[in-house]
Amino acid sequence: MRGLETPKNKDTAEAFKWFRAASARLSIQRRLRGGYENPHVEPKIELDEDSGEPTHIVARRQNSAHQMIERFMVAANESVARWLCDRGLETLYRVHRPPTKDRVKDLVRFARNFGLEAGVTDSLSPIGLAAVGAQVRDFPAGAAFSSVLMRCLGKAFYSPDNEGHFGLASTHYLHFTSPIRRYADMVVHRIIKHYLTGEREGFELAMQEVADRIALREKAANNAERDHQKVVWARYMSTKIGEVYEGNITGVKSFGLFIQLNASRIQGLLPLESLGTKRTKVHFDETSMSLKVGRRYYETGQPLRVKVASTDIERGRIEFKLVNKRR
């Protein structure tokens, strides 16, 4: 099993047999109920030991060890959520609502631009979502499509109301397994502790207020992480000026196109001025998220060949130039 070697210690090795069995059973259950399994293709950044400069960035895929841990974490989170719900205890659920009809239509259109068929119409079920995910597992532009798909699905959030988690096809879900890094998990642990110690009173939290405050801090943390990542990307790509890459459009704006490179998942901007001359007629359609430059249409999902034109390390910006205007 790749990524999960058998431990040398006899007792640990014996335990791992059961870990594998449990993970396999959870995987089968997950497939039966549907939902989206994010392949977790993340940019792996290697730094020079002496200078600290990024020397290599490649897409790192999830292996069997990661999958085993994730299976157990999801199962634990679901079990705790059901336990609290069965006892009528107020808590913080992690909620992910089904996509709206408009977002499903966007998904269908974007998938076709990637050369895929979503196989759905106005609504999306967890099984349908799983089928979409299965198509891109080994797809060359799978990372770019995954980024677009996650935007179409929308973000999960914390709520005192249990509305289920669509992406995981789960009826009861919360965050419990990481109290050392997430405050929501700590809140859940405190609720359980007070209940188990018999403290039925004196522990009251305005859960909606807690959820709102966590959302603000979560957004700030995500922004800080993204900004740092962009700076590292820009530092790395500053040594790649003029090099050509294959990528896909992951965002369309009136000022240009956002491109995600297939090999590394690095993202940058293809400015509007590089798509045509100043006299070229330009039309941006915000509804369909498409850009027409002269006779040429650009839409989310389209593959393009680009080369690195410039970088701004301080601002974390990478600009590309179109190499071949043919699709």
Whether residue 234 contacts residue 243, with contact meaning beta carbons closer than 8 Å, is answered with: no
CA gap 271, 252 in Å, rounded: 10
Looking at residue 281, its pLDDT comes to 87
Cα 226 to Cα 29, 156, 200, 216: the distances in Å are: 34, 18, 41, 15
CA angle 100–103–109, rounded 5-degree value = 145
Looking at residue 4, its pLDDT comes to 57
Residues of the chain short of pLDDT 50, as ranges, are 1-2, 326-327
Residue 131 carries which side chain, given as an amino acid letter?
A: A
Domains of the chain (ranges plus CATH)? 10-95+157-232 (no CATH), 101-153 (no CATH), 242-324 (2.40.50.140)
Looking at residue 204, its pLDDT comes to 66
pTM of the prediction? 0.85
Helix 126-135 with 10-33: angle, nearest 10 deg:
110
CA gap 85, 196 in Å, rounded: 15
Looking at residue 202, its pLDDT comes to 57
Backbone CA torsion sign across 163, 168, 170, 173? negative
Looking at residue 1, its pLDDT comes to 45
What token pair was written down for 217? 């801090």
What token pair was written down for 183? 């405050």
If 0-12 CB within 10 Å is exposed, 13-18 middle and 19+ buried, where does residue 221 land?
exposed
Looking at residue 326, its pLDDT comes to 47
Looking at residue 124, its pLDDT comes to 92
DSSP bridge partners of 268: 259
pLDDT digit string (tens) for 42-65? 677 777 777 777 777 776 777 788
